[in-house]
Amino acid sequence: MGAPMAAHLAAAGYSLVVADTNSAALDRFCGSVGCERMSSLQDMGKSCPLVITMLPDGNAVQQVLLGTQGIASALAPGSVVLDMSSSAPMGTRELQRQLANSGVWLVDAPVSGGVKRAVEGKLAIMAGGDAAAIARCQQVFAALGQVFLTGVSGSGHAMKALNNYLSAIALAATAEAMMAGQKFGIDSKVMLDVLNHSTGRNTATEQKYPAYVLPRSFNSGFSLGLMAKDLRIALGLTEALASAAPLLRECSQMWTSAERRFGFAADNTEIVRYLEMLPDPKGNG
């Protein structure tokens, strides 16, 4: 998702200094979009008053920012770090405190909408942190989608994790209902038509099933491992807050088991395949 997002920023007139551990992806991007390649993390910090991270998790964000010769060591006071990754909210609060000691602002602004919305520039952006720092990012947000102000530092990441929990459980519940209906003899397309005109309607019935599951392509563009990670973040949040979440716990365990079976890079819609492979609870053939 980072590539189309960065392309929108370039189209909006921003000068980009870019980095990616995937050299092939970086070559493709730099071949199509005018930008400068990062020479080092510290050089990026010296030249960029705004740094955007779009990384797999909060640990990667902390390593890039605070690791040996990380970006943060070269950022000038008043600079802004915009973490658009899906990170653990409690870790984000600690990172915000550490950066604040150097006069650097942190805004957590994860996104939702998948690759399709990233390409369209219509992402939902959940922004948490200092109001003045968020205001400085408004034009950046405008190039990427619609921003929603969620509150204090870490609240954007909390909102993203909770959103992905609902997305994950909707897909799993839809899969269970579809499997039962199919075994009863109801046509899958008829089921989706009924569900999408009824109270069971959700993103899985409207988008994921018709686009990625029924054709058996399983290529939504968001990995199963990332969804499993986001569920663990959501579960960790509820545990830290002592908030009851028995369904979330079951959902997280299911996705973690599917990740072990299919691998991190499998598409998140392959949770359907995982459920299809589970043994009959009654032991029937």
**Rounded-to-integer distance, Cα 40 and Cα 42, Å:** 5
Active site residues: 160
| Structure confidence at residue 282 (pLDDT) | 73
Is the pLDDT at 2 greater than 80? The verdict is yes
Q: Which residues of 34-61 are buried (b: 16+ CB within 10 A; e: fewer)?
A: ebeebeebbebbeebebbbbbbebbeeb
Mean pLDDT of 115-134: 95
**Rounded-to-integer distance, Cα 48 and Cα 44, Å:** 6
| Structure confidence at residue 284 (pLDDT) | 65
| Structure confidence at residue 177 (pLDDT) | 98
Closest residue by Cα to residue 9 from 49, 52, 41: 52
**Rounded-to-integer distance, Cα 285 and Cα 279, Å:** 9
Per the listing, tokens 């200094």 go with 17
**Rounded-to-integer distance, Cα 103 and Cα 144, Å:** 26
Answer for the pair 193, 237: CB distance below 8 angstroms, yes or no.
no
What residues does 17 pair with on adjacent strands?
36
Lowest mean pLDDT among 26-35, 188-197, 227-236, 245-254: 26-35
Mean predicted lDDT score pLDDT of the chain: 95
| Structure confidence at residue 51 (pLDDT) | 96
| Structure confidence at residue 34 (pLDDT) | 87
Mean pLDDT of 113-119: 90
Task: Work out the burial of residue 123: count CB atoms within 10 Å of its CB; fewer than 13 is exposed, 13-18 middle, 19 or more buried.
Answer: buried
Lowest mean pLDDT among 5-9, 121-125, 232-236, 280-284: 280-284
Structure token digits, residue 226:
């990332």
pTM (2 decimals)?
0.92
pLDDT tens across 24-71, in order? 989 999 999 989 998 889 999 999 999 999 999 999 999 999 988 899
Residue-range domains of the chain with CATH: 2-153 (3.40.50.720), 159-277 (1.10.1040.10)
Percent of the chain with pLDDT over 70: 99
Mean pLDDT of 98-111: 96
